Structure 1
Amino acid sequence: MTSGPGVPDWSAATLASVLPSVADSLGVSGFAGADRFGLPPAPRSVVVLVDGLGYDLLAQRSGHAPFLRQHLAAAKRIPCGFPTTTATSMGSFGTGLPSGSHGLVGFQVLDPATDRLLNELSWEDGPDPFRWQPRRTVFQAAQDDGVSVTRVGPHYFDGSGLTNAALRGGRFVAARHLGERVTASVERVAAARRSLVYLYWGDVDKIGHVHGCQSWQWGDEVESVDRALASLAERVPDDTSIVITADHGMVDVPFDQRLDLAHEPELMDGIRHLGGEPRNLQLYLRPGTAETVAQAWRERLGSLARVMTREQAVDEGWFGATVPEVLPRIGDLVVTMQDRFAVVHSGLMRKEILALLGVHGSTSEEELAVPVIVVPPRRAALGR
């Protein structure tokens, strides 16, 4: 495998390193030496994932986040992995593996067994998630080692396909509002001598999609999250570490900077399934058409997109170490949009997707870079 420009260095710190590092700090068997962030040893930890809170966005708009800003100088800026989309990042976060190993390789990908697209976020009519992603998660490993593991999020995450594939292990506690999730996290992390709590919050991403990540609404939501995280830090037991990260960043793409494939029939020639998402399409082709389709897309889009074959994307390392059973899930062609540009299909994509101003999925630094912010325990651990 060669390394292409901008490809995440999977031997260094990535989003896949976060939970293994926390497991190391908790003394979980099998994770000694896994820490990539210099986490202090602690018997308790709360890991917060704020969906859509990219490092560059946070740094740019840190005036909205005084609590996070005071920790930003010591924060790590790491790649989330590829594609820069929630389902893929949750797989990397939960398993500690790159997407080519855990197999959650995009927003919409091909299920080779049924020759249908699988939306890995909604998992509607999807395959058995335990077979689709059979690797043990870090939560399962921590639970097996005697750590009390709790995942805190919206009720509809409990038992969902994506949760079972990427984040299984421990107990799930449902809470709707962010304040309720903070309270649940404080209670659960204090309930056992060794404990790991995972708290998820998705509204930064939702607001960024609808209003744009440069909007005042996005800033207001970050202010709310910042206040909640400050409260969390005040209320957890004093031997608890807090690690804050995200699953991807985001860019705003004006609607006049989008190409609609519904009006470009020549670009749909040879395509059986249109997978991926507007910033990162995965094209599943009829046999023998790859060269012709790739040439047509490169000529039409020019510098606005990079068109890679599956073999090229894998060889350059975008998906990390890729196991054979995952290869057919990746598009025959992988098209990553450059600059502020997106490709949609108004006849195939849901209108809710077409209406999103803030988008992600591609390889820009704004989409790839996420923070790892560590709030150390107020009291050093005397022993595990």
Structure 2
Amino acid sequence: MPLPAAPDYATASLADVLPSVCASLGVPSALGEPAWSGRLGLPVARRAVVVLVDGLGADQLARRLGHAPWLRAQAATTRRVPAGFPSTTATSMGTFGTGSGPGEHGMLGYEVLVPGEDRVFNELSWEDGPDPERWQPGRTWFERAEAAGLEVVRTGPGFFDGSGLTRAALRGGRFAAAESLAGRVDAALRAVRTSPRALVYLYWGEVDKLGHVHGPESFEWTTELESVDRELARLAAGLPDDTSLTVTADHGMVACPHPTRVDVAEEPTLREGVHLLGGEPRATHVYCRPGAAADVAAAWAARLGERAWVLRREEAVAAGWFGPVAPVNLARIGDVVVAAADDLAVVDSARMRPQLLALVGMHGSLTGEELDVPVVHVPARVA
């Protein structure tokens, strides 16, 4: 089966959204250039609000625009960009917050190996994880914006404040906790109205949660999209004239039927030579016993056939799946990397919680349904 095209990190991707917004606000580039436009070339503004809707893939949105009148009104100028691989929240938050690709920031999956410690940890929950600032030491664009004199405010659920993922990928500025989407919109409006120069970030996760539980084509997913659209319209209407609004996402999603899944716990040939499993059902990092990587790759490729792309670490890196990879991050990648095609999910009932095994919607792989996210930008009415 031919390899899928790697995400285009060099032209425009999720990594370019926050840097481009910052450029429009006059924040110097990572190289210190005081006047630059970022890859997206956004118009100048004095204040900006950036909304990230978890799980709002470009394809899923396109099929449901009839339920989202505000987003439909922006469709002509909405861009489609790849989130990056793996197409999963922890990785994409690193990409979004740092403005660099997965291989550079090193947040490479839902669960990844801690080199030298013989264990994997969950980058989403960060339970028993390494020091976040050491795991991802690069400056975030929130830190850069704050250093440039902007008031930086991030709003989301209270437990995000100070969490490992937030510290690693989204540190900088102050946090304004709010539980409901309406409350977060209110917090964003208060923040942007009270500062002459501001960057405000708003996160919403219910679209992703409902897609996981019910599927991305479900009634529940669509109903949540309608609610999000109403609040985005209210947010846009309430912004000061010199304030831009950008809406994006971290990944899309596909439905993975339970009967067609492959369970590693029930497949002895998939366990031979395997030391640890990381990643997630649509993008699996296989950490092998010494000298076993070639045999493991062959066994997984033979079992999964055309339902997945199975590459050795060096092959996945050479194919550009992660973008440029910093040497310090190489060992975090599986000795074998498995990216699911069609609707495959590779699970491990011996170690996964029942709640995870019950999910319908999944993401992480290289299909357009999972990779592509929208970038909606409404310029400031006056510069």
Q: Same fold (TM over 0.5)?
A: yes
Count of residue pairs the alignment pairs up: 377
Residue 382 of structure 2 corresponds to: 380
Q: Which of 185, 197, 206 does residue 194 from structure 1 map onto?
A: 197
Counterpart contact for 1:37–1:76, Cα < 8 Å:
no
Distance (Å, rounded) in 2 between the aligned partners of 1:102 and 1:328 = 13
Establish whether residue 316 from structure 1 lines up as the match of residue 319 from structure 2. Answer: yes
- Cα pair 2:294 2:312 within 8 Å, conserved: no
- C-alpha separation between the residues in 2 aligned to 1:181 and 1:285? 44
Aligned match of 2:374 in 365, 371, 375? Answer: 371
CA distance in 1, matches of 2:221, 2:352: 25
- The CA deviation string for residues 306-338 of structure 1, in whole angstroms up to 9 with x for no partner, is 101110111111111111110000000000110
Aligned to 1:37: 40
Match of 2:256 in 1: 253
| Partner residue in 1 for 2:239 | 236
Gaps of 5+ in 1: none
Residue 364 (structure 2) pairs with residue 361 (structure 1): yes
- Structure 2: 5+ residue stretches without partners: none
Partner of 1:11: 10
SS of 1:10 mapped into structure 2: coil
C-alpha distance in 1 between matches for 2:271 and 2:307: 18
Local SS of the residue matching 2:291: coil
Deviation at residue 5 of structure 1 after TM alignment:
3.8
**2:139 alignment counterpart:** 136
The amino acid of 1:201's aligned partner reads: W
Taking the aligned partners of 1:204 and 1:337, their CA distance within structure 2 comes to 22
The 2-side partners of 1:38 and 1:69 are apart by: 22
| Contact 2:301–2:310 (Cα < 8 Å) also in 1 | yes
**Partners of 2:263 and 2:349 in 1: how far apart?**
6
CA distance in 1, matches of 2:357, 2:186: 36
Q: What amino acid is aligned across from residue 283 of structure 2 in structure 1? A: N
- TM-score of the aligned structures, taking structure 1 as reference length: 0.97
Match 2:170 to one of 167, 187, 193: 167
* Alpha-carbon distance in 2 for matches of 1:74, 1:120: 33
Letter in 1 for 2:9: W
Shift of 1:10: 1.5
User: What residue is the counterpart of 2:157 in the other structure?
Assistant: 154
* Alignment partners' CA distance in 2, 1:65 and 1:35: 29
Q: How does 1:104-115 map to 2 (within 5 A)?
A: 104-115=107-118
Q: Encode CA deviations 1:17-63: one digit per residue, 9 max, x unaligned.
A: 00000011000122643422231100000000000000010001111
What pairs with 1:256-295 in structure 2 (closer than 5 Å)? 256-295=259-298
Q: 1:119 aligns with which of 122, 131, 136?
A: 122
Percent identity, aligned pairs only, is: 59
Distance 2:315 2:125 in 1: 29
Look up the SS of the partner of 2:40 in the other structure: coil
Counterpart of 1:380, as a letter, is V
SS of corresponding position for 2:74: helix
Instruction: Supply the AA of the counterpart residue of 1:193.
Output: P
CA contact (8 A) 2:28 2:36 kept: no
Q: After TM superposition, list the pairs within 5 Å mapping 1:6-85 onto structure 2.
A: 6-30=5-29, 32-85=35-88
| Residue deviations 1:279-307 (CA, integer Å, cap 9, x gap) | 11100000110111111111111101110
- Deviation track 1:315-362 (CA, whole Å, cap 9, x = no partner) reads 111111111110000000000110011111111111111111000000
Provide the rounded CA distance (Å) in 2 between the counterparts of 1:159 and 1:195.
Answer: 21
Post-superposition offset of 1:115: 1.3
String of CA shifts for 1:187-234, please: whole Å, max 9, x gaps.
001111110000000000000000101100000000000000000001
Kindly report the root-mean-square deviation, in angstroms, between the aligned alpha carbons of the 2 structures.
0.9
In structure 1, give the amino acid aligned to 2:327: P
